[in-house]
Amino acid sequence: MASTPVTARIVEQPHEGDGNGQFIRVIVADTQAIFRAGLRKIFALEDDVRVVGQAETLAQTLTAAKKFTADVLLFEAAIASNPIEAVADLLRQNPALRLVVVTTEPDQDLTLELFRRGVHAIVSREVEPELLIDCLRKVSKGEPWLDGRATQWVLEAYRTQGSRAGAPRPKVQLTPKETLIVSCVTQGMKNKEIATRVGTTEQVVKNYLRKVYDKLGVADRLELALYCLNSRILDTSAKDIPLKDGPPKPPAISQPTNGNAAALALPIPGTPESL
């Protein structure tokens, strides 16, 4: 049977009462037409979610990501023989696109590697509609979304990495200003916001982050935040650094809103703010 071409649903005008008139533009990429149709019906009930494109193959997904202006790509892992490389290609092509990967079964290794490559969220094919909508809303704002199991996997993987025998990380001492910038990163602040907080420029912030990454042996903002959680590196005082609007708040992970899911308020690599 011939493949169905990439299609787009005409975007509706926001209903009255939609607040500022903004809505989340979603591309649905899934091999099953019935699943795509089901998602469209679910999203049609929400005033702030619109399906702007859909695809059923990896080639169509790549085309849709180029053709349609979207905030979120809902991407079935099984659409690609190698979903990890497919995700890397999609983010290389469109770094601003936020990916939510749909999986059939929980897979710890796949989950960890997908987040490492820049995915914003991973959901089960059996996810409840309310949780999926909540996920899309958080991801559209640039926030990562992990369910309880994925959160545990990410934290445990980092703890295991930090306690591997024969490869202990050396004791690292950050300068007060480096500590302050790291604290801002763990709060999810962007480089521009950090620069304003510290009273410097974005380029200086980037330079400091590169030095911190090298010192701590981390690759991105997510690894940096997890390192701080595990090693309590933010116990170092940064009070000697002048601030424009007060000291930074301590980093925190938001508590689960119910028994099924939790939102992890940590930065994710692969976004436009990769440094």
Query: Mean pLDDT across the stretch 74-83?
Result: 92
Q: What is the pLDDT of residue 250?
A: 41
Query: Mean pLDDT across the stretch 84-112?
Result: 86
In this predicted model, what pLDDT tens digit does every residue of 26-60 receive, in sequence order?
999 999 999 999 999 999 999 999 999 999 999 99
Give CA 126 to chain center in angstroms.
Answer: 21
Contact (Cβ atoms closer than 8 angstroms) between residue 75 and residue 125: no
Beta-bridge partner residues of 25: 50
Q: Quote the CA–CA distance of 161 and 253 in Å, as a whole number.
A: 20
Q: Quote the CA–CA distance of 5 and 2 in Å, as a whole number.
A: 9
In this predicted model, what pLDDT tens digit does every residue of 185-226 receive, in sequence order?
877 788 888 999 888 998 899 888 888 888 887 777 877 877
Q: What is the pLDDT of residue 21?
A: 45
Q: What is the pLDDT of residue 273?
A: 59
The pLDDT-based confidence of 161 (bands split at 50, 70, 90) is low
